[in-house]
Chains A and B, each alone.
Chain A
Amino acid sequence: MSEVKFISPETIEQAVDAYSKSSKEGNTKILAGGTDLLVQIRSGISQPDTIIDIKNIKELKEISNDNGSYTIGAAVAGAVLDEEEDFGNNWPGVLEALKLIGSEQIQGRASLGGNLCNASPAGDSVPALIASGATVKIQGPEGERKMPIESFHVGPGKTNLKNGEIVVNFQFPKKQKHSGDAYLRMIPRTEMDIAVVGCAVNVTIENDKCVDARVALGAVAPTALLIEDASKALIGSNFEKKAVEKAALACEAACNPIDDKRGTISYRKKVSKVLFKRALEKAIERAKRG
């Protein structure tokens, strides 16, 4: 391997400054846990001249709870968030999605920010983040901006981040009473695999009626999708069969998958409906409990 410049800033400003400068000179990669980046470097897919390690930036490692609204640093590892007991009570779907990434060892490094920026259509945490309604805080040379997760990706491996911009944290809405989220994925094995289809559902229930719903799918299109027609079908319903079926059909219709070694188009479409229904059931159960 040729020489690689390794920068380990301690503030966001330093990181943004270094990133915007080095990006102009060559290929720069941001390193959080490195669970995607190191694999890409080893296999020759990525050959960076500069690596900026953001793990030492305090804000990116912070977890805070402001009266029920969580802010999670972009580089917080899955295992760390798992130990934050109350987060899992509020956003069990987001946590279960994050925890599906890789093995026990990977969980010590893998982060929401890394999973988002890797921009794989099959990233497990992305549909769950979309369904939660979280926004991502971005900082760049021109300052700070926020974006809903569903607007973050452009295509496989491509994001809306501009030159020099880094993801700082995720801001979750205050969890509504009687709401619940869930994430399910289909893999041929039971673990250590990549989603063939992933589905996240977040519902809020009032007097047995669905008052809010967000549904997201992963691995069925170039980016993870927010399925607005599924939300429309559910909101105002009692989750009666007709409404659920309509929402499931909306999921299927939104799918724009590819045929590849992990699954066929027809398989992914069928499975999106099934996973939606199962995730919905789980989300409803959680919503009724909390």
Chain B
Amino acid sequence: MNEMDNKWIGKNTIRPDGADKVTGRAEYGADTIMPGMIWGKVLRSPYPHATIKSINTKKAEELDGVFSVATSADCVDFPVDTPVILGIQDIRWMARNVLAKEKALFHGHPIAAVAARTEEIAEKACELIEVDYVVHPWAIEIDDAIKPDAPILHDFIKFDGKPSNIAGTLEHKKGNIEEGFKDADIIIEKEFETAAVHQGYLETHACLVSVSPDDRTTIWSSSQGQFMVRAMTSFITGIPQSSIRAIPAEIGGGFGGKTIVYLEPVATILSKKSGRPVKMVMTREEVMRASGPTSGSKSKVKIGAKNNGKITAAQGTFYLQAGAFPGAPIRGAAGCCLAPYDIPNAHTFGYDVVSNRSKVAAYRAPGAPIGAYAVECVLDEVAEALKMCPLEFRLKNAAKEGTKAVHGPTYPVMGYVETLEACLSHPHYKAPLKKLQGRGYASGFWFNAGGESSAQVNITEDGNVVVTTGHPDIGGSRASIANITAELLGIDVNRVSVLIGDTATIGFSNLTGGSRVLFASALVVTESTNQVIDILKDRASKIWNIDKEAIEWENGEARPAGDNAGKFKPLSLVELAEQATPTGGPIGAGHQVNTVGAEGGFATHICDVEVDIELGIARVIRYTAAQDVGKAIHPAYVEGQLQGGVVQGIGWALNEEYIYNKEGKLDNPGFLDYRIPVCSDLPMIDTILVEVPNPQHPQGVRGVGEVPIVPPLSAIANAIYNAIGTRFYSLPMSPPKVLEKISD
């Protein structure tokens, strides 16, 4: 498709969800109500680590107004030693995270749940549940979890033949690491730490579930995947997927944190047992205590380079917190950290460490910011030692088309070099700095993803278009799909309506995550739309009584072509729709497939900070993010993704952290003391959209949502060093930490 001719792709069309959202009409997870609805509440563990000997729910059940009580005894039993894999999750762990079984593994772990006439009664009933605990010593931090005499969370997890909290490892190797370091003129090795951080979505988890007497179940909830909700609820409750209809609500932020369930299976059990629709809404405190943050980490990175600036070897070891159950995003850390570079000899190693924290959930490029933080900080030190500009140093070692990446693939066409060049030629690169101001640079990578997607494109009787896909829209997929459909059909974008189907109305579609949705759904929508165009040509051929092949579709109408050109008056979409019934019936087509051909995304960021050295406060005063976005289908939304990722990275770098007290409890379970950035903390985030289209996609789409959170942690650390000459190896770089280090 010739880009210059694009009418809708690349245009900032009006958001189809905008009017509802700004007028308060949009229905989020907590907005659905039903007649006869009752409220569910969760009893949570007061201990970070305890064996549950017994749960007595009798008194709670007897309380006036209580309808049902649920414990893990009501869930399907998944033996601890048999994996039950669903995507990247294991239902063994998911079931135990939703309702604790043998043990309470973190403070706030759900133990039981009550459904009652009001939330207050349900809460009171929770207090009446008697749980007999045997309290164990606990481990919160990685060092405490991996020391020789650490309390073991799961007895059957073995490492080196012994019970361990190391639940898994992953490594990537390329070349010969020893030889690589031998060739180096300079080697720098450093250790780093990052704190666990929460996704910080504003909408707390919420759902309404109604189970009929024959087990037919309807779930309204806010999630990143209605099919994920259906599948996990089915596994945990034993109700077949065919009996569950999961209806996606608008989503008030997810960032990966809503790719698993917390409430839906519990509400389903409570509804099934009570015969009433059950609504559950988490408080912010529950979200902070018991829904997934991403891992805290410790890591060590060693990089060697020649005096001419070529990197000869790189090595990285990453320990990531998994929380109470295995599944830390070590692949993101060990797999992405060296991806922007062409390094002949490399070795990365990740450890998945369980401890008595809430189970981690995906968070925007899971694990990748942790890996990149360590690598990009060391690269900054190597560049300094070599007296090279950090961007030129990266350019000299940049991966290109044909480079074999450390994590495996050989890259096709990709735009990393272009992001470096865009930064080098941007005014920000040369802008003057004042005293105590500094500039830092960092790059980042994320895999992106394809996977299952379904779409249906229907022509309405009045000749307009309804597109249905199966992915919750968390980053502008509806607007982008509207642009693509309008472009393909050659009609005004306002004639295209894009809806998110529920599990009963559209084919299986994997969840919204991995930066996969636009890549995947654009593929199936394109295929469906092309099929519709084919049908439309077929209908015109019937009306004109000529071969379908002699018809072309252009500008929203069927035109006779070739020998027949000009012989008939073109038939518009509206005219063809009017004649749909006599020419063969309804016009529409659907497509469902496991999409392949997703390609990674690269970014390079420039960050300026100013440090108040008396108070230890670092503030970001200017920020520019350059990213290979493939093709920006809706540029404003793409910019929004870049800006949002950067802002979350700024929070991660400067102030956000899970703080545990001596009792093993989270001490800051709210937005007052868990400090995500507020607007006044931030400068305008400038974006540079580099477009190197993905050759394996009809519109050139690459995922854009995750890469932008990867570089900020190190870009900010490097900028602080540039401002005050002190390097920080531990996040967050909060004022007390900064002041303490610079006062030394």
Partner-B contacts on A (CB < 8 A): 1, 186, 188-194, 196, 261-264, 266-267, 270-271, 274
From 697 to 740 in chain B, residues with beta carbon under 8 angstroms from any chain A beta carbon are: 734-736, 739-740
Q: CA separation between A194 and B740, bound complex, in Å?
A: 21
A189–B677 touching, CB < 8 Å:
yes
A194–B735 touching, CB < 8 Å:
no
B734–A188 touching, CB < 8 Å:
yes
B672–A274 touching, CB < 8 Å:
no
List 20 additional A-B contacts (Cβ < 8 Å) besides A188-B735, A264-B740, A274-B614: A1-B120, A186-B615, A188-B617, A188-B654, A188-B734, A189-B675, A189-B680, A189-B681, A190-B678, A190-B681, A191-B680, A192-B672, A193-B675, A194-B673, A196-B735, A264-B736, A267-B616, A267-B736, A270-B739, A270-B743
Q: CA separation between A264 and B614, bound complex, in Å?
A: 15
Query: Is B667's CB within 8 Å of the partner chain A?
Result: yes
Of B616, B655, B743, most A-chain CB atoms within 10 Å = B616
Chain B, interface residues (CB within 8 Å), range = 20 to 34
Q: CA separation between A146 and B614, bound complex, in Å?
A: 39
A263–B736 touching, CB < 8 Å:
yes
B614–A193 touching, CB < 8 Å:
no
- Chain A residues, CB < 8 A from B739: 267, 270-271
From 644 to 678 in chain B, residues with beta carbon under 8 angstroms from any chain A beta carbon are: 654-655, 659, 667-668, 672-673, 675, 677-678
Partner-A contacts on B (CB < 8 A): 120, 614-617, 619, 654-655, 659, 667-668, 672-673, 675, 677-678, 680-681, 734-736, 739-740, 743
Total A-B pairs in contact (CB under 8 Å)?
51
Instruction: Give which listed residue, B667, B678, B736, contacts A191 with CB less than 8 A.
Output: B678
A–B pairs, 5, beta carbons within 8 Å: A1-B120, A189-B655, A189-B678, A194-B672, A261-B667
B675–A188 touching, CB < 8 Å:
yes
| Chain A residue, CB-CB nearest to B660 | A261
* Chain A facing B: main interface SS: loop
| Chain B residue, CB-CB nearest to A262 | B673
- Chain A residues, CB < 8 A from B740: 264, 266-267
Q: CA separation between A191 and B681, bound complex, in Å?
A: 8
- Closest Cβ of chain B to A245, distance in Å, is 14
- Chain A residues, CB < 8 A from B668: 261
- Closest Cβ of chain B to A282, distance in Å, is 15
- Chain B residues, CB < 8 A from A186: 615, 617, 735
Q: CA separation between A180 and B668, bound complex, in Å?
A: 37
Q: CA separation between A140 and B103, bound complex, in Å?
A: 54
Q: Given A1-B120, A266-B740, A274-B615, A190–B680 Cβ distance below 8 Å? A: yes
- Chain A residues, CB < 8 A from B616: 267
- Closest Cβ of chain A to B655, distance in Å, is 5
- Closest Cβ of chain A to B653, distance in Å, is 12
Of A189, A192, A196, most B-chain CB atoms within 10 Å = A189
Q: Given A1-B120, A191-B680, A267–B735 Cβ distance below 8 Å? A: yes
Q: CA separation between A263 and B655, bound complex, in Å?
A: 12
- Chain B residues, CB < 8 A from A274: 614-615
Of B667, B677, B681, most A-chain CB atoms within 10 Å = B681
| Chain B residue, CB-CB nearest to A267 | B736
B667–A192 touching, CB < 8 Å:
no
| Chain A residue, CB-CB nearest to B673 | A261
- Closest Cβ of chain B to A120, distance in Å, is 12
The 10 lowest CB-CB distance pairs between A and B, nearest first, are A267-B736, A190-B680, A274-B614, A261-B659, A261-B667, A264-B736, A188-B655, A190-B681, A192-B678, A261-B668
Q: CA separation between A186 and B735, bound complex, in Å?
A: 10
- Chain B residues, CB < 8 A from A271: 614-615, 739
Q: CA separation between A264 and B675, bound complex, in Å?
A: 17
Q: CA separation between A237 and B739, bound complex, in Å?
A: 30
- Closest Cβ of chain B to A157, distance in Å, is 17
- Chain B residues, CB < 8 A from A267: 616, 735-736, 739-740
Q: CA separation between A191 and B671, bound complex, in Å?
A: 12
| Chain B residue, CB-CB nearest to A275 | B615
Q: CA separation between A261 and B658, bound complex, in Å?
A: 10
| Chain A residue, CB-CB nearest to B616 | A267
Q: CA separation between A191 and B659, bound complex, in Å?
A: 21
Q: CA separation between A192 and B670, bound complex, in Å?
A: 12
- Closest Cβ of chain A to B267, distance in Å, is 23
- Chain B residues, CB < 8 A from A188: 617, 654-655, 675, 734-735
| Chain B residue, CB-CB nearest to A42 | B283
- Chain B residues, CB < 8 A from A266: 740
